[in-house]
Structure 1
Amino acid sequence: MPMPPPPDLDTMSLADVAKALAEKRLPPVENWHPTHCGDSEMRIARDGTWFHQGSPIGRPAMVALFSTILRREADGGYVLVTPGEKLDIVVEDAPFVAVEVKSEGAGRTRELAFRLNTGDLVVADAAHALRFEEHDGEPRPYLHVRAGLEALVARPVFYELADMALADGEPLGVWSAGTFFPMAAA
């Protein structure tokens, strides 16, 4: 059965996003504890491209499927997990990339919804925080997705957030769902 196309944030309201999030059911990977089986021979590059044995995975539906069984371990590593096996996967930076943002409201009443490179949607709030780090003198923003998994916020999306923050004034940061996210590196 083919996967539905990823959502188009331009045509969705935040109420539509909330409904889509409520309907999404992920596998209970936190409840699966099979014996470690080895290496998946997979890697997620910093730009969000998934590779298997050195070649990019060209089917977005496969990437979306694998992303649902991705788990962050207590030691900081990443695994693909099913009820029967657990395989290591290399993640260069963050396993997801936030490639689009939709803003409704302004200032303290703003809500921000993000679309990830896998088609998933995330609304920034207290449970899905935005944080900002500095690497090599440049800001690097991240969005918490779920259970220790984060999305690197793509540069064009970061610029949109920066424009919102500048329009809102001091202190520099953005509001979403009642939570303020300062843009200073932590």
Structure 2
Amino acid sequence: MDEVAATSASVMRTSTSLPSSSSAYSSVFTNYPLISAFVAFAIAQSTKFFTSWYKERRWDFKQLLGSGGMPSSHSATVTALAAAIGFQEGFGGPLFATALILACIVMYDATGVRLQAGRQAEVLNQIVYELPAEHPLAEIRPLRELLGHTPPQVMVAGMLLGILTAAIGHLLTMIK
């Protein structure tokens, strides 16, 4: 009988310690690092969208989710996440270290591999464009050229936007 009582007490402790689905949903909407990352992404993509309209005088809805351009939304997102974790959990902990390494890898990839892939696509598109019309590859759809970012797009614009977004979010959470 004692085993049954101990087991049911253990089950009750476990079931009461699990978050309810409504509190799990509300915690997602109050997760400051997550919100900072999403806001930084939205600001970066919106900036590209409106900059594109200003330059070309037409709405390019691909800019809302597309990659490449100024500022780097990848850089802004991961920097905002890392900075927000640092503000919330401290800059000396393992969680911040993990977020910082993730941010560095994403930014390195954006300025390295993805930038070079975009440049390669540009050259390949030019080669295909110069092919005679009867060539079997002459009619293929062009490759996307705007894939990566220049270092200023990543390090200056994206990173600063991410840090600024996280800092403003931190100040807002301090006010509450």
How high is the TM-score relative to the length of structure 2? 0.24
* Structure 1 length-normalised TM: 0.23
Q: Which of the pair has more CA radius of gyration?
A: 2
Where relative contact order (Cα < 8 A, 6+ residues apart) is larger, the structure is 2
Higher normalized helix content (fraction of residues): 2
